[in-house]
Every structure is written in structure tokens, then in C-alpha cells.
Amino acid sequence: MTLQDILDPQLDASFKGFPQNTAPLRRSAVAAQGWNVLDGDLPLPLAIVKRDAVTHNLSWMQRFATERGVDMAPHGKTTMSPQLFRRQLDAGAWGLTFATVGQVRAGATTGARRCLIANQVLSAADLQGIQSLQQEFAGLRIAFLVDSLAQLALIEAWFSAQPQATPFEVMIEIGVPGGRTGCRTHADALTLAERLHQSSATRLVGIECYEGGGASGKTEPDSAYANALMQRVAAIALACDAAGWFADDEVLITAGGSAIFDLVAEQLKPQLSLPVRGLLRSGCYVTHDHGFYKRMVNAVNQRLGCEDGLHPAIEVWASVQSCPEPGLAILAVGRRDLSYDLDLPTPIAYSPRGGRSIRTAPADWTVSALNDQHAYLRWTDAGSALLQVGDRVALGISHPCTTFDKWRWMPVVDADYGVCDALVTCF
Amino acid sequence: MTLQDILDPQLDASFKGFPQNTAPLRRSAVAAQGWNVLDGDLPLPLAIVKRDAVTHNLSWMQRFATERGVDMAPHGKTTMSPQLFRRQLDAGAWGLTFATVGQVRAGATTGARRCLIANQVLSAADLQGIQSLQQEFAGLRIAFLVDSLAQLALIEAWFSAQPQATPFEVMIEIGVPGGRTGCRTHADALTLAERLHQSSATRLVGIECYEGGGASGKTEPDSAYANALMQRVAAIALACDAAGWFADDEVLITAGGSAIFDLVAEQLKPQLSLPVRGLLRSGCYVTHDHGFYKRMVNAVNQRLGCEDGLHPAIEVWASVQSCPEPGLAILAVGRRDLSYDLDLPTPIAYSPRGGRSIRTAPADWTVSALNDQHAYLRWTDAGSALLQVGDRVALGISHPCTTFDKWRWMPVVDADYGVCDALVTCF
């Protein structure tokens, strides 16, 4: 797959949300179609990305990192969109983060040459995959996580049978008791670090943690939690530095989801003898949302004294297909089209059929349930039947990752819902 | 997109689960690669489809329908897989069902010429889309659902402005109070039927309902519920027949998910003056599952006295990436890879690393949580640490629809987990 294939692919009517009567066209030709979402030029349901919100978020987050002397390695698994990867790199990102070896391919094809895999890699297929990617993309740097001697043994066994292989760049993951992956204790981390230093299969290039799993949205416990974790990361980095176990002239220290990223960003640069590159891996910031991340980032904004933080950029528009009972409208949109893992979607606006007018959704509208291809929109004041069959409803989502993976393309819209660009995804 | 493009597309390393170091190849060339899932030839996580189970299910369900004098119009939205559409048609299906106009394109490209849309269609984009598809695919028949005069008014407004358009084939949807779409009363349905008969924009070709939303898995309430619904459908069909409102020589009567399909199948052929074609729209039967549908179909099997019912055909294999605490293994698989809407996945088997041996998962293994790219496998007897880093675990899923939509391709395996074929999806 070439750079043009991935940045400017051909779209056609086999893509959900593309008009059935339009000939195939390249992504770069979408803007010239003159489509407007409110004019009904595109079939619903449709997930759209608001251009101005994305531009704001890219620059807001890059500035946030720069002001703290750290770099961005945004998590690409959120969007898996080459067009957004390119925007993130152009905005100043040091590199990109991914969850799997296969995902790295999309980043490398887009032009990223520094990729973190925020996961343990250990299978022969994945270790070989990293070597293959590095042969295919000149200068591609890939560093992944290690958290156990058992994992290292698998890496070494594979490496010793591959005389052509180059050593793997690895970071030790620091985890928390009751949490997910990662070394649970200081001693375990140092035992592993020494072995990684000694191994011919690995080069220890940094220390990693993920604080997002412990975020509550309440500043007091979140600060205590993040501080304790980052102090452990710093102590382990200091010990590895003192022992001379880091393999490079620069040490990577990385953390960061999109929920309490401000609480870790300040602590990504412990004082070592070697220069430190602090890397923030937030992914969801790029489109933000109307649910979980909105709640979490409200607390971030309060801590920062920020009055214009991240803007929600994704809306999923759907038709009212039936109003079968008082207080109930059935929308033609469902689990195939938007997130439902953290919260059900939130009605944010509606547009009566046949026009471009948009009205704010009443506060008593809720989506009470989703089926695969249907949503149940309910309101408590059954007398106020504002919606009719054929009207359009905009839903805000909670958790960008699980909406992006339901679309092969998404139109990018201007402030008037004119389609000014498009992005594709590579899940 | 040609028939070859859709039935025998090219796969490459940008497809999740495809080896990074393998050149692109056509789907039909996959079997010749000699891949075996247990040999680690393909990167994990990986959703696989068991060949023998699918073959069994296709023939079991077709026989079930034939024995009851009804036809299959399997819901294609479950799999959106042209290879499975082809198998369903070849097994004897009358046609295919879809949820959206866009989905019909995949079915028509695969060769289906009779398509039901089990949803209300009403927007200009979708009405135009149906006309475009019918121009593009000679002889393509599409019938969709109508459940309100408001919807009919939108169809008529669009139709009256399109002198070239041909009338739309429609079926009246019968719904239940407290349910989803569909006419709630006999009187509403007949008022609508008369108007559909009178309209130049529509041709009334049948009556539809969906019983799956009311299924509990308990025979007594499910029978009462299905009987009451199907009796309403029959009464409305009789009234429309007596009034001469059906437009064709044959009347379509259709129902059917995959949970209590046996309770509606017997009642799809009410005695009318016109011949009746009963159509069962089950979709999930083709791969079945280890969760919701397994529980539901256990009751079906009991009612049928069937000892060899549907077989679960999907497994999602994942690596153990970390064993960080007693009683906990973290698997490299998550919400990006399998269903989590009806139940979390069920561990069904495991294979120690570096071999082909497979062992049944102990009964105390459960997946307690999923992140986007991680699963938490827990066991209660912390002393029995059977799993080690690098071992592979097979997860059974609950709800095929929401696993298929997470994969662009899936290998088809024989009884020894050798890859003997592949399918792609078109979400």
C-alpha cells in the first residue's frame, strides 16, 4: 500500500455513508462534491468529524505538551486514521503509539518513523512482524513494552534462532496492584531491567506506565494516584540510570491517556544523568467526546484554569424512522455505528426534515437502549412530541475509539455541515 | 466492485490478523499457504470460523425451513460477508435480508436478486439509493418496511418529484406495545394498508414482524408471546387479502431472528386466497455462538427434540501477554476484536505456547473485563496457575453480529486449525 493509497484512497458506494448513486472518487475529491449533511446528500446514519474542533484540539494538545517540555506520541489506535496521523505529525508529534504490530504498519505507511507499541510483544509472528516492518520502512524505530522475565525468555528464544534479527527496543512497563499489565513492584522492575540490559536481544530505552485505568475524574484521588505511580516510574528510571542499564543517549519516559493526562505530564522528565524525552500518548484528545472524556476533561480544565479546553468533534446523525408510542422515537442507528461501551450516546441536537435548521436537543431526551441497527430515543414529557418521522437527530458519543472502529470513512464538515474533507480508517 | 472483487478480494498485511511478512494474495490463495493457527503462522488476536460448524449450520437451518414449508431470507447484516451470502444462497435461500440500503449493495453484488430491508426507509438518499441499485442490478427486487402514515407521506413526496422512479415494494411491520418499530394496533395497520394500496408510490407485498426482541429463552412465555404476535400478523394479512390490497400474486409473510425462530416458523403461512411465501430471516444461526444464542437455542433444541442443533463456529484466539498477579492473566485482545454487548466472552480452550495441543478451559475461568485492546482473564483457585505468558486462549463469543463487524477478514479453519479458506466482511 502506497502513501497515496493510504492518504488519498478511493471511496465508493460500498463504504457506509457514501451515496449509492455517486461514482467512486478519491478522498481528495470529496470536498468538491458540494455535499451538505443537512441537505440529505449523504445517507444516514453518518458519523461526521467537525473540522474546526479537530484543528483546535490538535493545536491545544500540542501547545499543552510543548509548554511542559514534553513531546506527543499520540495513540493511533483511537482513530486508526492516516489523515489524522498526518495531522498529528504535522502538528509536531514526535511519533505515534499503537497497540499492535499490525497497527504500526498504518503509521509507518503514513510517514511515522518513531512508533511505540504500548503492549507486550512476545509471539514469533509479532517479533518477526517488527523485523519485517523495519526492513520495509527505512529508519523506522519501534519500541514495545516488557513486564516479565517470562516475556523476555520468549523474545530471547525467538531472537537466538534468527541470526539476521536486530535487537528489539523495549521499555519496562510499571503497573499497579489490581491493575492491568506492568511490573507490580520496584524490585521486579529492577530485576527485569538488569536482565534486559544483559540480553543481546533487547535494548532498554525507557520506562512506561498507563495511568488512565485509575482515573475517576475527581482531582484529589486522581492526583494521589498519578503522583504515586509517577514517583515509582521516576525511582525505577533513576535506578536504571545509575546502574547504566539504559542503552541509548536519551531515555524515554512515557505515560498518558486522555483522562488525567495533566497529572502525569508534569512528571515525565525525572532528573537523570542522561537526557530524558517525556512522551505523552493521549489518543482520544483529537476528537474528544460528549461523554466520558468530556466529564474527565472538565476536571482537567478546572485544574489548569482553562476556559477553552478540548472541543467534541464527533457527531453521529441518524433519521427518525418511527414514532410508535408517546415519548419514544426509534432512530435508524445502532451498535454498528457508535460507541456503547462506556455510556450510551447522548442526543445533542436535531434538525427537522427538509431544512438546514438545527435545534438543541431538550434536556429530557435520552437514548435508553441500542440494538444493532436501532436506537431508542425517549423523553419524559410525553406531551412535547418535537420529533417526527424523517427528522434528523445528532448523537454525541462517549469514547472515540469505539466509534471510529465502526466507520471505514467519515466526512469532515465545516461549521455549516458542508462536507469539506474526509478521512478513512484502517481497522 | 465486481463479483470477483467481492468474492475473491486481495488480502494484505493491512488486514488485522494477516502476517506482516507475507505478500498480498487473493482470498482463494489462502488455503495453499499451509497456515495453522496453532503453529503461530498468523498474528493474534485472530477471529476464526470453523468450516465444519458453518457447513452444518447452513444445512441444518435450510432443512429446518424446508421441513416447515417456508423459505430462508437470512439476515445479511450479521456477517456482511459475501462468501457467507454465497453459501446461504447456494444452500437454497430464497433471498437475503439487510438493515440498510447500503448493505443491500453487498448482497446484490454477490448475486442476490431478492432482498428485504428489515427497516423503515424514508429519506431521499435511501429512496434514491434503492432506485439506483435496481437500475444497476437487473432484476433486483427490494422490499422494505412501512409502519406509519408519516413515513408513507415522505415516500410519496419524494416519488411525486421523480417521474422516472418505479413504485416501491413494501411490507407493513407489525410491532408490539413497549417494543421497537411497527404498527401497534390492528386498526393502525389496516389504515396504513389501505393507503399503501391506494398510493401510486408503493406496492404492498407482505406483512412483517420481528419477534426476537421479546425472547427470554423460557418456552412458556416465549410461546405465548410469539403466538400472540403471529396471530396478529395473520389477522392483518387475512384482512388485507380479503380487501384485495396485496399487489402481487404471492404474499410475503416474514419474521425471525435466531433466538425463538422455531416459534414463528410454523405460523408464517396463514391461509389466504393468494399463495403465501413464508420467509425466515434468521442471521446469527450461520455461526451461532457460545453465549446468548447458545442459551436461546438450547430451548429451541428442547422444543424440537433435537440432539444435534446449531454448532458454535466462531472462536477468537489471543495471547497471554502478562500474568501479573495470582489468578489474573491479561490477554492481548479487547473491545476492538470481539462482542461485549450481550455478554463478555467465555474462555473455552487454551493451547500452551509452541505446540498444537488444545485443552478445555477450566470451569472457573472467566473474562471479568475488557479494555480496547486487553482482556482480564481471572480464575478463583489462585493456586492453579495453568496459564503462562505466551500461551494462547480461545474465547467463545456472545452475539455474532458484534464480532463480525470487528474483522475485515477471518480465516476459515478445519478440525486441526489448519487454514483452509477465508472470508471477508463489508461493513
Q: Judge contact between B251 and B272, C-beta under 8 A.
A: yes
Same domain, B182 and B319: no
Task: Tell whether A334 is covered by a domain.
Answer: yes
Residue A305 C-alpha, separation from nearest chain B C-alpha, in angstroms: 31
Between A and B, how many residue pairs show a Cβ–Cβ distance under 8 A?
228
Final residue of a domain: which of B267, B282, B297? B282
Kindly state whether residues A403 and A257 are assigned to the same domain.
no
User: What backbone phi and psi angles, to 5 degrees, belong to A327?
Assistant: 80, 10
End-to-end alpha carbon distance in chain A: 15
Position B176 pLDDT exceeds 80: yes
**% helix, strand, coil for chain A, step of 5:** 35, 25, 40
How far is the CA of A75 from the CAs of A120, A411, B235, B395, B422, in angstroms?
Answer: 15, 21, 57, 26, 30
Does B335 sit within 8 Å of A376, measured CB to CB?
no
SS3 at position B115: strand
Nearest to A325 by CA among B230, B207, B192, B179: B179
Same-domain status, A340 and A402: yes
User: Is the per-residue pLDDT at A170 higher than 80?
Assistant: yes
**A416 domain-assigned:** yes
Chain A residues whose beta carbon lies within 8 Å of the beta carbon of residue B376: 180
Tell me if A76 sits within 8 A of A283, measured CB to CB: yes
B29: how many CB neighbours lie within 10 A of its CB? 13
Q: Is B46 helix (H, G, I), strand (E, B) or coil?
A: strand
The answer to whether A16 faces chain B, any CB pair under 8 Å, is yes
In a domain, B55, yes or no: no
Query: Is the separation of the CB atoms in A419 and A37 below 8 Å?
Result: yes
Q: How many Cβ atoms are within 10 Å of A25's Cβ, its own excluded?
A: 15
A383 pLDDT higher than 70: no
Q: Which residue of A has its CA nearest to B391?
A: A123
Q: For residues A102 and A207, state if they share a domain.
A: yes
Q: Which of residues 220-259 of B touch A (CB under 8 A)?
A: none
Residues B250-290 have pLDDT tens digits of 999 999 999 999 999 999 999 999 999 999 999 999 999 99
Examine the fold and report which residue of B266, B282, B298 is the final residue of a domain before the chain moves on. Answer: B282
Clarify whether residues B95 and B153 are in a common domain: yes
Give the C-alpha separation, A309 to B165, whole Å. Answer: 50
- Please indicate, yes or no, whether residues B105 and B251 belong to a single structural domain of this protein: yes
Question: A32 and A123, same structural domain?
Answer: no
Q: What is the pLDDT of residues A88-145, one digit of tens each?
A: 999 999 999 999 999 999 999 999 999 999 999 999 999 999 999 999 999 999 999 9
| Among A137, A141, A132, A97, residue whose Cα is nearest residue A117 | A97
Same domain? B42 vs B80: no
Q: Find the domain containing B144 and state its range.
A: 75-282
Q: What is the percent of chain B where pLDDT is above 70?
A: 99
Give the three-class secondary structure for A121: coil
Q: How many CB atoms are closer than 10 A to CB B304?
A: 12
What is residue B150's three-state secondary structure? helix
Q: How confident is the model at residue B155 (pLDDT cuts 50, 70, 90)?
A: very high
- Averaged pLDDT, B134-139: 96
CB B73 within 8 A of CB B93: yes
- Listed residue (A351, A341, A322) closest to A397, CA to CA: A341
Share of chain A above pLDDT 90, in %: 96
Confidence of residue A381 (pLDDT cuts 50, 70, 90): confident
Strand order in the sheet with A202-209: A71-72, A276-280, A251-255, A202-209, A168-174, A141-146, A114-120, A96-98
Helix, strand, coil shares of chain B as percentages rounded to 5?
A: 35, 25, 40
In a domain, B298, yes or no: no
Contacts of A376 (CB under 8 A, 6+ apart): A328, A330, A331, A367, A368, A369, A370, B180
Strand A346-351 to strand A251-255: parallel, antiparallel, or no bridges (unpaired)?
unpaired
Q: Distance from A353 to chain B by nearest Cα, in Å? A: 9
Q: Do the domain assignments include residue A249?
A: yes
d(CA B272, CA B348): 48
Chain B CB contacts of A126 under 8 Å are 43
* Domain count of the fold of chain A: 2
d(CA A246, CA A193): 9
| Confidence check: pLDDT of B385 > 90 | no
CATH code of the domain covering residue A390: 2.40.37.20
The answer to whether residue B314 sits within a structural domain is yes
**Cβ–Cβ of A13/B175 closer than 8 Å?**
no
Of B278, B191, B188, B182, the C-alpha closest to B243 is B191
Asked if residue A13 lies in contact with residue A20, where contact means CB atoms within 8 angstroms, the answer is yes
Give yes or no for A378 touching B (CB within 8 A). no
CA dist., res. A94 & res. A73, Å (int): 6
Do B278 and B314 sit in the same domain of this protein?
A: no
Task: Tell me if the pTM is above 0.90.
Answer: yes
pLDDT class of A382 with cuts at 50, 70, 90: low
Residues of B whose CB is below 8 A from A17 = 102
Domain end among B265, B282, B299: B282
Residue A219 distance to chain B (closest CA, Å): 23
Chain B hits for A147, CB-CB cut-off 8 Å, are 322, 324
What is the pLDDT at residue B381?
A: 79
A155 occurs within a structural domain: yes
Long-range (24+ apart) CB contacts under 8 A made by B366-371 are B367/B331, B367/B395, B368/B344, B369/B344, B370/A341, B370/B334, B370/B335, B370/B338, B370/B340, B370/B344, B370/B345, B371/A180, B371/A213, B371/B334, B371/B335
> What's the full length of chain B, in residues?
427
Q: Do A269 and A315 belong to one domain?
A: no
A354 Cβ neighbours under 8 A, 6+ residues apart: A390
Would you tell me which residues 49-88 of chain B have a C-beta closer than 8 angstroms to some C-beta of chain A? 77
Residues B38 and B119 in one domain: no
Examine the domain organization and report whether A179 and A268 are in the same domain.
yes
Does residue A411 surpass a pLDDT of 90?
Answer: yes
What DSSP assignment string belongs to B183-252? B-SHHHHHHHHHHHHH-SSEEEEEEEE--GGG--S-HHHHHHHHHHHHHHHHHHHHHHHHHT---SSSEE
Alpha helices (H) along A353-400: none
Mutate which: B373, B378, B388, B410, vs A, most A CBs within 10 A:
B373
In a domain, A42, yes or no: yes
| CATH number, position B237 | 3.20.20.10
- Interchain proximity A336–B427, CB inside 8 Å: yes
In this predicted structure, the answer to whether residue B2 has a pLDDT above a threshold of 90 is no
Please tell me if residue B1 touches chain A, with a CB cutoff of 8 Å. Answer: yes
